[in-house]
């Protein structure tokens, strides 16, 4: 039996990418500054030296070209992994992703697969400037033909990046950049869960909390505080935003009767909105209170000094828990 290692999420992703590169000669990494520099977050550090410049490619600053080139490579049998340097830089590549990549397998009636992974460091809590702390995942979860996933722990990051690369479907891989430097246990031999599955990570009986990515640690913090106040809270990590694995959520809501969905992204037409609507449809008679949402505000991401007001914290989540229990 191998011992689990304490690794940061950035290191876990690095090791996952290294293993995918070693296991399959058709895997390529592409992105701005990912080679010699190792990426702005050093997730790809050392991979160019180990696998060469033909498999770890520094690209021009042109997101549309990066994704378009990856589509062509996928058509020739490669498995390209693109890095979008920051979340807010993804929009120049939006047309290639949503108009081409997401639709090509359907257009070919399934005869041609497009195994492209697009890594997107996303979210706040790093004190950065405009276009560096956004949460654009709902655009892609809304787009048919794309898988959208987001790990919350180093263990999931290590395995889910490999599962995404092995998938024959295009995968949007949203990495919570504020968690890059947080350590957690990684067992490189433990069989992983299916990467489209959600998971109960804390058992409770009175309120269900659901979130993804960096929000999961905030939910656990809120659950700890609630427990100290005598409230039992269940926490579910979504892991996959498209498709969403609803059964653990519905099972939990049927037990607790209350649901709070939390996210960093704005609330309007969001992943949280979709979960709230679906639970209201499929578990209406189990609900003891309305489904409540806690999110970023419906504004552009503010200057860094205001991010603590904009981003949901444990206090805002606990306020929603109190409202749910008050019904």
Cis? peptide before 178, omega within 30° of 0: no
Residues 16/66/106/172 CA torsion (nearest 10 deg): 40
Q: Which residues contact 325 (CB under 8 A, 6 or more apart)?
A: 206, 207, 231, 258, 289
Helix count and strand count (H, E) for the chain: 12, 14
Q: Which residue is listed with tokens 């990515």?
A: 213
In 236-259, which positions are buried (b, 16+ CB within 10 angstroms) versus exposed (e)? Answer: bbbbbbbebbbebbbbbbeebbbb
Strand, coil or helix: 15:
helix
**How many Å separate Cα 252 from the centre of its chain?**
22
How many residues would you count in the chain?
327
Alpha-carbon span 14 to 314, nearest angstrom: 30
Q: Supply the DSSP symbol for 35.
A: S
From the list 9, 265, 240, the residue with the least C-alpha distance to 123 is 265
Q: CA–CA separation, 201 vs 197, rounded Å?
A: 12
Active-site residue flag, 132: yes
Place of tokens 């390529």: 28
User: How far is residue 157's CA from residue 239's CA, in Å, rounded to a whole number?
Assistant: 10
Residue with tokens 């990418």: 17
Q: Strand, coil or helix: what is 171?
A: strand
Choose, from 125, 131, 132, 142, the residue flagged as catalytic.
132
Q: Where in the sequence numbering do the catalytic residues fall? A: 132
């Amino acid at each position: 039996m191998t011992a689990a290692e304490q690794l940061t999420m950035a290191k876990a992703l690095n090791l996952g990418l290294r293993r995918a590169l070693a296991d399959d000669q058709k895997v390529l990494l592409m992105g701005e500054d990912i080679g010699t520099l190792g990426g702005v977050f050093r997730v790809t550090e050392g991979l160019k030296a180990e696998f060469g410049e033909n498999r770890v490619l520094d690209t021009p600053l042109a997101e549309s070209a990066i994704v378009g080139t990856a589509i062509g490579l996928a058509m020739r049998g490669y498995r390209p992994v693109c890095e979008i340097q920051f979340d807010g830089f993804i929009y120049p590549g939006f047309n290639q992703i949503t108009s081409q990549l997401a639709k090509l397998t359907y257009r070919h009636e399934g005869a041609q697969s497009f195994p492209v992974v697009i890594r997107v460091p996303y979210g706040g809590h790093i004190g950065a400037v405009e276009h560096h702390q956004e949460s654009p995942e709902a655009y892609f979860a809304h787009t048919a033909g794309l898988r959208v996933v987001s790990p919350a722990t180093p263990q999931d990051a290590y395995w889910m990046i490999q599962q995404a690369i092995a998938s024959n479907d295009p995968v949007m891989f949203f990495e919570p950049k504020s968690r890059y430097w947080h350590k957690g246990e990684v067992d490189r031999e433990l069989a992983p869960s299916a990467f489209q599955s959600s998971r109960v990570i804390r058992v409770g009986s009175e309120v269900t909390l659901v979130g993804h990515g960096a929000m999961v640690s905030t939910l656990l913090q809120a659950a700890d505080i609630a427990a100290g106040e005598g409230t039992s809270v269940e926490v579910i990590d979504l892991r996959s935003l498209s498709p969403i694995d609803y059964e653990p959520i519905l099972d939990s809501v049927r037990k607790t009767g209350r649901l709070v969905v939390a996210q960093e992204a704005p609330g309007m037409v969001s992943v949280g909105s979709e979960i709230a609507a679906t639970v209201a449809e499929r578990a209406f008679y189990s609900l003891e209170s309305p489904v409540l949402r806690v999110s970023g505000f419906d504004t552009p991401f503010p200057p860094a000094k205001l991010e603590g007001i904009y981003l949901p914290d444990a206090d805002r989540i606990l306020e929603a828990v109190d409202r749910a229990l008050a019904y």
